[in-house]
Each structure stands twice: as structure tokens, then as C-alpha cells.
Amino acid sequence: MKKTIKTDEIYEVVKQAYAETRNLKGGKNADYIPFLDKIDPNLFGIAVCLPSGEIIEAGDTDYVFGIESISKVHTAILILQQYGAEKVMQQIGADATGLPFNSILAILMENDHPSTPLVNAGAISADSMVKPLGNPEEKWKAIVENMTDLCGSELKLLDELYQSESETNYNNRAIAWLLKSYNRIYDDPQMSLDLYTRHCSMGVTTKQLAIAGCTIANRGKNPITGKQVFEESLMPNIVSLIASVGFYEHTGDWIYTSGIPAKTGVGGGVMGTLPGVFGIAAFAPPLDEAGNSVKAQAAIKYIAREIGVNVFSGDSIEIIK
Ligand code: GLU
């Protein structure tokens, strides 16, 4: 079906979503990374970014929080750009694990395969692939530049989060070395783990995430800067990765109930992307047991349902003034 949605309607729905979900109880801040446990649990922001560059927002959309696993999407895009879809498939894979984000069992069960760049194992493997190999400074530069390009403005490293996570990431250390033993780390394992920990510790705002979501939805063209960040033809690969594992072991439930491909992070952020239509993001620190923000999920579902968009609907959507 052809559907036309007025921008004013989106403004109205975002306002309503904020009012309806801001007092939701439930969930708790991630506490396995001590820094995250200290963030004010009442912070809450929602933002929608349209391909025209218009941003519709409510709440704490300029608050800077830890991007965490959402940055796995950014790194996946970088290696897709550097190597192409086929090579990423061979070296990492694109399978949902159905298991928690940091699962070691998933690596063993997949017979040495890191599964997808959107779980910890695949993301560490992806960081090892970032070019130029063997050069941590230049690799980091490429990662930061790519994040900036996707988000439309600079992100700053949250030093305290980086320290906190580096001191406590024992599970991720085990993953890096296990992958090394399977020849699934393509550069130095310690360096790859450090790059991963660092980009998870980047500070981002809800608004920047909505812009990044829209850059993906807009076939790689950032709606704010106009820069073509990745090749158009990669959009379906990127969206399929997000849709199949963005919520870890709850991905099926999420996509079935929301219709919005989205990626979560334990910092409380969720970044969604609806191809050709918009980018959407929400942030609130308290998480459910799978590590997904309770309020951010509710807000995004509310908006998708009320404006009637769903990636599986077959509708062609036009947003008008
Ligand atoms: N940096 C976090 C970790 O590796 C990311 C987890 C997440 O956001 O899901 O544990």
C-alpha cells in the first residue's frame, strides 16, 4: 500500500510517546560495568531523523551516554566498506546466535565462527579486520572517522567508561583469545579487544544515533552533512544484520512486535533504521534481563505502531510536510 505521513503527525506521536512511556518502571542499569551503574536512571530521550535532515525530538536528546554495542553497527559498516559483503560473510558471518551478547558458547557451537559482527565475538573480530592492519593508531582513526561520518558530528571518548570497562572485561578477553585459537582474529588480539572496548566507550547522544540510523535508512547518505558514508548497495546487508541480531536473544520478539530493525547497547541506547523512511533512537539506562533498554523499546514501539510503519508491511511510505 502507498502511505503518506505528515511530518506534523510524527511530531505529535513523538510527544505522545514521550509522555506515555516516561514513567514506565522496570529494568535496571547495567552494573557489570561500574560506570554505567552510576548513570541517572531517569534520563530519557527520543529522536527521529528524516532523510530531509529534520529532527523530531523529546526529552534528554543531547545527553551524552556510552554508545556500547550500538557501535558494533558502525564497525560492521566500516569493514563492509573496506572488504565488501562477501569477505565479511566468509571471515565473520551473518548469523543470529540466539544467545547473550557476550556468549562464549555461541562461538563453540558455531564451530569456531564468530557468527555476526553485531555480537561481542564478531565485533572483536571485525575490529581486527579494520585496515590498515598492524597499526592501532590508524585503525582507531578510521573507526572514529567512520563513527563521526555516520552520526554527522564528532563523538567523544568517555575516559571513565573506557577505564571502567577495560578493568572489568574479563569475558571479552576470553573471547578474543578463543577466537585467536580458531584463527578468527585477523590482527593482534589484545589490540583488537582494546579497539572494541574503546569504541564501545564513545559518548553519543540520542540525536546523533537517530542521525546514524537515518544515514543507514538513507542508503549511506548522511541527511545532515550530505556525505555518502557507505556504498548504497550495502544498505540491505547492514539492515539485515541489525534486524537479525540487534536485540541479542530477544531479537525475534523485538522485530515481531515492533517491525523496526534496531540495535541496542547496555548504555541504554537503541538505534533503529527503517529503510527509505527514517532513523529513530531512544535512550534510557534501565535495561531488561537481556540488556535492552525498557523505556527505549516501549517508545520506539509506540511510535512505529501509532504512525503505522513496519519494515515487513510492504507499504511504500512517503513523508510530506
Ligand atoms: N561493551 C559492552 C560489552 O562488551 C557492550 C555490550 C552491549 O552493549 O550489549 O560487554
Asked if 295 and 250 touch (Cβ cutoff 8 Å), the reply is: no
Output the residue whose Cα is nearest ligand 1's atom 2: 68
Whether 249 is in the pocket of ligand 1, judged by its Cβ within 6 Å, is no
pLDDT for 97 equals: 80
Rg of the chain in Å (alpha carbons): 18
- Cα(149)–Cα(170) distance, integer angstroms: 31
Locate the ligand 1 atom nearest the alpha carbon of residue 165 and give its number: 1
pLDDT for 113 equals: 74
Residue 316 pairs in a beta bridge with 2
C-beta neighbour count of 191 within 10 angstroms: 19
Give ∠ CA 287-289-295 in degrees, rounded to 5: 30
69-200 has CATH 3.40.50.1370 classification: no
Nearest CA among 241, 281, 20, 273 for reference residue 117: 241
Whether 281 is in the pocket of ligand 1, judged by its Cβ within 6 Å, is no
* C-alpha 294 to ligand 1 mean position (Å): 16
The whole model's pTM is what?
Answer: 0.96
* C-alpha 171 to ligand 1 mean position (Å): 11
* C-alpha 127 to ligand 1 mean position (Å): 14
- Cα(238)–Cα(90) distance, integer angstroms: 16
Helix, strand, coil in percent for the chain, rounding step 5: 50, 15, 35
- CA 107 to each of CA 31, 128, 290: distance values in angstroms, whole numbers, following the listed order: 24, 16, 18
Pick the CATH number of 2-68+205-320 from 3.40.710.10, 3.90.1150.10, 3.40.50.300, 3.30.420.40: 3.40.710.10
Whether 291 is in the pocket of ligand 1, judged by its Cβ within 6 Å, is yes
* C-alpha 90 to ligand 1 mean position (Å): 24
Where on the phi/psi map is residue 5: left (φ > 0), alpha (ψ -120 to 50), or beta?
beta
- CA 286 to each of CA 37, 208, 293: distance values in angstroms, whole numbers, following the listed order: 9, 20, 6
Whether 101 is in the pocket of ligand 1, judged by its Cβ within 6 Å, is yes
C-beta neighbour count of 132 within 10 angstroms: 13
Asked if 148 and 130 touch (Cβ cutoff 8 Å), the reply is: no
Query: Per the structure block, which three cell numbers stand in for 28?
Result: 535496571
* C-alpha 124 to ligand 1 mean position (Å): 11
pLDDT for 122 equals: 95
Q: Which residue's C-alpha cell is 527509505?
A: 276
Ligand 1 pocket test: which of 75, 165, 245, 254 has the largest number of ligand atoms within 8 Å of its C-beta?
165
Asked if 268 and 286 touch (Cβ cutoff 8 Å), the reply is: yes
Whether 201 is in the pocket of ligand 1, judged by its Cβ within 6 Å, is no
- Cα(163)–Cα(152) distance, integer angstroms: 26
Whether 69 is in the pocket of ligand 1, judged by its Cβ within 6 Å, is yes
- Within this chain, domains 2-68+205-320 and 69-200 share the same CATH topology: yes
Query: pLDDT per position in the chain (321 positions), as tens?
Result: 899 999 999 999 999 999 999 999 999 999 988 999 999 999 999 999 999 999 999 999 999 999 999 999 999 999 999 999 999 999 999 988 888 788 888 888 877 677 899 999 999 999 999 999 999 999 999 999 999 999 999 999 999 999 999 999 999 999 999 999 999 999 999 999 999 999 999 999 999 999 999 999 999 999 999 999 999 999 999 999 999 999 988 999 999 999 999 999 999 999 999 999 999 999 999 999 888 999 999 999 999 999 999 999 999 999 998
Nearest CA among 257, 238, 320, 226 for reference residue 10: 320
Q: Which residue's C-alpha cell is 550500538?
A: 70
Output the residue whose Cα is nearest ligand 1's atom 6: 69
Domain boundaries, the chain: 2-68+205-320, 69-200
C-beta neighbour count of 61 within 10 angstroms: 21
